[in-house]
Each structure stands twice: as structure tokens, then as C-alpha cells.
Amino acid sequence: MSTKFQRILVGVDDSADALLAFDYAIHQAVQDDAELVIVSVLEDDDMNVYQALSKDYVHGERAELEQHILKYQKQAQEAGVTKVRAMIAEGEPGETIVKDVIPHVQPDLLVIGSIAKRGIARHFGSQAAYMAKYSPIAVMVVR
């Protein structure tokens, strides 16, 4: 028996692994005629105190991320995914996706890359392990 997914959540952060995860998620969504929800997390620990206090900076960075994630949405649509949504969450990626995004979106598969863009183990590398361990749904870690 093969599993057919209804709604797939994919985390993107521009790392090579995340781009592979995104390609995998598109392929799976097309194959299963599933809805694809693309999430990117605006990490507040990347901002210094001055930037965090400056509404313009946070607004600017968020607006930039919104424009960027719409490109992912367009790419998925062009690849043949009929139902696509994109969203931005804020916080620590692993915890935010597990505790906020998954309960809100209610996907049946989470697809993530194993290494973050910054290459620092504490970012998406350890985030992937956190999500695989604590996610209430199936997790596909792509590398």
C-alpha cells in the first residue's frame, strides 16, 4: 500500500538542501495531487537589538522574505502543483514549525533539508533533528 499525502508542508531557507527538499515536495505534491504549503521562518535571533527595535528593519526584512517566498509559490505552480500556499512564521525554525505551523496548517508530511544556509550546526542541521524528533507527522529529511 502506498501512502498518498493530502497536504505537504515544506520548509525553505535557500540552502542547497532546502532547495532539494522543495523539489522533492513539488514532485510529491504533483504525484499525489496534494496541497503544498511553503513556509519560511524569519529568525528573530538573527537580528541585533537595534534592528529588533526598528520596525522598519523587521518590516523590510519580512517584506523581502514575502517577495522571495512568492517566487517559490510561482515555481511550484509552474511545475504543476495546483494548490499552493506560502506563509512566513517567526521564531526558532524547528520549534516554530512543530509547535505553531503544523497545528495551524495540519499537513500530513513535513519535508525539510538537513543543513541550513548558514552552515552553523545549531541552525537548520539541529533544527532538522528537532523537527524529526518532535513532529507529530511524518518527516522527510532531504540531503
pLDDT in tens, 61-102: 888 888 899 999 999 999 999 999 999 998 888 999 999 999
Instruction: Identify the CA nearest to 46 among candidates 91, 112, 99.
Output: 91
Contact 29, 77 (CB under 8 A): no
Specify the pLDDT at position 6.
97
Domain residue ranges in the chain = 7-142
CA 27, CA 19: separation in Å to the nearest integer? Answer: 12
**What's the average pLDDT block by block, 10 residues per block, for the chain (143 residues)?**
88 88 97 97 69 69 88 97 94 92 97 70 66 95 89
C-alpha cell at 65: 522574505
Identify whether the C-beta of residue 83 lies closer than 8 Å to the C-beta of residue 111. no
Grid cell, residue 17, equals 538542501
Q: What kind of architecture, by CATH, is found in domain 7-142?
A: 3-Layer(aba) Sandwich (3.40)
